[in-house]
Every structure is written in structure tokens, then in C-alpha cells.
Structure 1
Amino acid sequence: MTVSGCRNGAIFSELRVRSPFFVRVDGRGFGRMLRDFSKPYDLGFARSFVSAARAFMESSGLAPVLAYTFSDEVNLLFLDEPFRGRLEKLDSVTASYIASSLSISLGRAVSMDARVIPVCREEIIRYLQESQAEAWRNHVFSYGFYTLVDEGMSHSGAMESLRNMRESDIHEMLFRRGVNLARTPAWERRGVMIYRSSSGVVEDWDLPLFTTEDGRRLVEEILSAAER
């Protein structure tokens, strides 16, 4: 086989996806990387992460309709098909752009991976609802974990204790210790969304629940504006 023939043998190079779809970008090894940051949440890191997602929306040239972030995850919604929907390009460019933006902001190298999730128009709100539910579960677990660690339990011991507890049990355990999860910052519980409006790109750090009428209306307004 010639060198040219080898170079043309890329696996999945012609695998394509049709819009609409989400690209979900996740941090790799962020537990170690964030060891020196505040726990269970660090506002400085959250701002850097949101800034990286916003930079992607404003400057990457790919123009997703919205970005929904929580923890070390960002979900980017596309109603069109950059790179003619080529899966490898979408994954590699999205992950590398956000990772490089975040590395610059944090002053340390980070790596991220990406995957594409095709959805129907009607499934967009459900995808966001499921992601926000995961943000809440992560919120409950993180507060429970670091509360036990602060009390002297080892990381493995805290993990084992929480593994045998229901979400409601963790919530009650924290409440008995003076932690009311319902009064923690909204961005910790519900995530942050960046989206386009008539006035430019908006960062919403006080999101409604996507399962409520206000949440569904917000998403529909964003989609309707993008489809005009």
C-alpha cells in the first residue's frame, strides 16, 4: 500500500450525523486536576468552564444554539451540521477547542473527550431535563461525599458509605448537619446555560427547572429564535 493509501484509510472518516444533535464534552482526570480547588464546588473553576463554553459559541465558527454546563461537562446543541456532519471532526474540534480555552484560563493543561448524541426536535427538552437531573444527583453526592471527608472519613470510606444510601438519605444526612441543599447556589443545583438572544450571548446562572413550565418555555424560546 502506498503512503497516500495509508493516509486515506482513516476509520470512520465518512461517518456523519444529521441535525439536531448534542455534542457532550467531558473532562478527563479532573478529579486529580482540581485537587487544590474548593470543594464541593469552586466558583472560579465554574466561571472558567462557562467562559470556555462561551468562547466556543462566540469564536469557534461552529455556532451551537446553546451550551448547558454542570460539573466538568458541557452539552452543545447544534441545529445545523458543521463539517457536513462529519463525526470525527465534530468530536475532535469541539473537545480540543474547549480544552485549550480552559487550559489557558486555568493556567494548566487539561484534556477532554467528546461524543455526539443525535436527537429529534421533540427530544431536545428531554435531553436537557435528563442532564439537569444528573446535575442535581451530582450535587447531592458531592456535598455528601465532601461532608464525610471533612469529618475525617477517607475518600474510599466516604464513597462506600454513600454507595449504600439513597439520594433522600444523603439529603437528610446533610440537613441534620446544617446543610440545606435547596439553599445552595442555583448554578450548583441546576447548572448554567449559555445561549443566543437578540441582545447577544447570554449566561444564565439562575436557571429554572427544565421540567417546569418556565424551563420548557425558556428552551422553546431559544429554539424558536434560532429557527427563524
Structure 2
Amino acid sequence: MKEYEVYSSLKVPKNSKIIVRLDGRSFHQLARDLNLIKPYDDNFYNVFSNVCEDLFKEFSASFVYAFSDEISILLDKVPFNGRLEKIDSVIASFAASSFVMHYNTQFRKPPAFDARVIPISDDDILEYFKWRQDESWRNCVNSHGIFYLKSKYPNNIANDKINGKNLSDVHELLFEHGINLNDVDTYKKRGLAVYRKNKKVVGFNKKENKNQVSYRSYVHTDWDLPKFSFDFFKQIGVLK
């Protein structure tokens, strides 16, 4: 019966790099069920950062980036012998389990993520993450915009007022009413990321009778990301 399995033979090339992108399923309803604070709920994003750290460690990622209910995982080594259905199903289910584990509450409906695999070259890594970070900014502007409008108008009127407006229009609308998005937390504008950093460790070398400096890597969650650039990814070792 093995031949009846759909996509069982579909594989990612072993020597390629991939990005696995997860998206929360029906997280708008989940936000209502959990009574999340709008436009951004700090507790939700603390939990989301823990999920990102778990994914980073479990799958030996080189970089994990998240905003809203979306997570992008950059993998230098393709897991599960490149089997596409295993990569998608295991990573998505792991993320959902991690979310439930860290979110200490009773869920009305189990949360879930969908997953897609994106083979990528070093030349395209920067452009991919710049694209997603641009989307994070768009999400930030629109979230604050609709939140402000719904505080003034019924939902249907607020939705009509924001439909068709470009980002600069919404940004200007907020600024005119005393809301400066430059002042909001950086992670709300640019997302958050998990990657490895090196820390300096000073120890005493008894044999040479002197202090000795070494460096150890640790998993770092960055809530204050800059705008993505080649220099940023080179500094953290993702690009050379």
C-alpha cells in the first residue's frame, strides 16, 4: 500500500538550504478566544518567542524570524532526509505543541499552523527576510490603524474607512491623531528573531598562570532588530 501515499517520494535536495514558513491557522478567532489585547498583546508575543526558541533548538536552525502569527525558519541542513511531507507536518505540529505548552491556558479549539518549504540560495536569503520584514511593518501600520478606527466607529464603518488606503495614508491618519508609530516597540514594527551570538568568557589558565579569553555561543532572542541588511546577516554568521 506504500504506493498509495501522496507525496511520499517528494524530496528537497539534501545539499540545499530551505526556509520553512509557518502561518497560524484561524488565529483571528484564536485572538478572540484568548481575549488578546489589541493591537499587540505582550504575553502572546512572549509565548511566540518561546516557540521560536524551541524551533531554533529542535531543528538546529541558523535563523528564525517571526511577526504576527508567522514564523520563518532558515535551515542549513535539510532534516528527515529531505522528505517534504515530514518536514511540513513535523515542524508545524511541533510549533503548535510548543505554543500550547508555553501558553498556560485552556484553549477552546486546538491551535494549528500550516507549513510550506522554500528552497533558497545564499543570494536570496537577504531579499526573503527583507520581504517578510516589510510585511511586518505593513501589519503594524494596519493593525494600529484598524484598532484606532474601531475605537471611533462601528466595525463595518472602520473597515470601510481603512479599505483602499495605502500605508502612508494610514500612517498619516494615525499621526494626525497623536499616534506616532516611530514610538512603538521595535518588535511590533520589525518582528523578532532568534539566532546565535557569541559571549566573551574570561577564565584563569593555571598552566600559564594568566587570564584567558574565550568565546561561547548562546541562543539569543532579538526584540530590537535593525532593518535587515547584508551587514546584519554577515555579523550573525548567516551570510559570508
- TM-score scaled by length of structure 1: 0.89
Cα distance, 1:153 vs. partner? 2.4
Q: Secondary structure at 1:113's aligned position in 2?
A: strand
Q: CA deviation at 1:21?
A: 1.2
Mapping of residues 152-171 of structure 1, within 5 Å: 152-154=153-155, 156-171=156-171
Between the aligned partners of 1:101 and 1:68, the Cα distance in structure 2 is 16
Gaps of 5+ in 1: none
TM-fit CA distance, 1:185: 0.4
2:53 aligned with 1:39: no
Length-normalised TM-score, structure 2: 0.85
Q: Which residue of 2 aligns with 1:56?
A: 55
Alignment of 1:16-95 (within 5 A): 16-18=11-13, 19-35=16-32, 36-58=35-57, 60=58, 62-95=59-92
**Alpha-carbon contact 2:10-2:84 (below 8 Å) kept:** yes
Partner of 1:102: 99
Q: Which structure has the highest strand share of the two?
A: 2
User: Per the alignment, in what secondary structure is the counterpart of residue 178 of structure 1?
Assistant: coil
Give the secondary-structure state (helix, strand or coil) at the position aligned to 1:63.
coil
**Structure 1 residue 224, shift from structure 2 partner:** 4.9
The answer to whether residue 117 in structure 2 is matched with residue 116 in structure 1 is yes
Deviation at 1:222, TM superposition (A): 2.8
Q: Which residue of 2 aligns with 1:9?
A: 4
RMSD of aligned alpha carbons: 1.5
Provide the identity percentage. 36
Greater fraction of residues in helix: 1
Residue 208 of structure 1 is matched in structure 2 by 226
**Kept in 1: contact 2:63–2:238 (CA 8 A):** no
Any idea what SS the aligned residue of 2:237 has? Answer: helix
Runs of 5+ unmatched residues, structure 2 = 199-216
**Alpha-carbon distance in structure 2 between the residues aligned to 1:110 and 1:224:** 31
AA in 2 matched with 1:49: F
Cα 1:124/1:99, change in 2 over 3 Å: same
C-alpha deviations, 1:99-132, integer Å up to 9, x for none? Answer: 1110122233311111011111110010000000
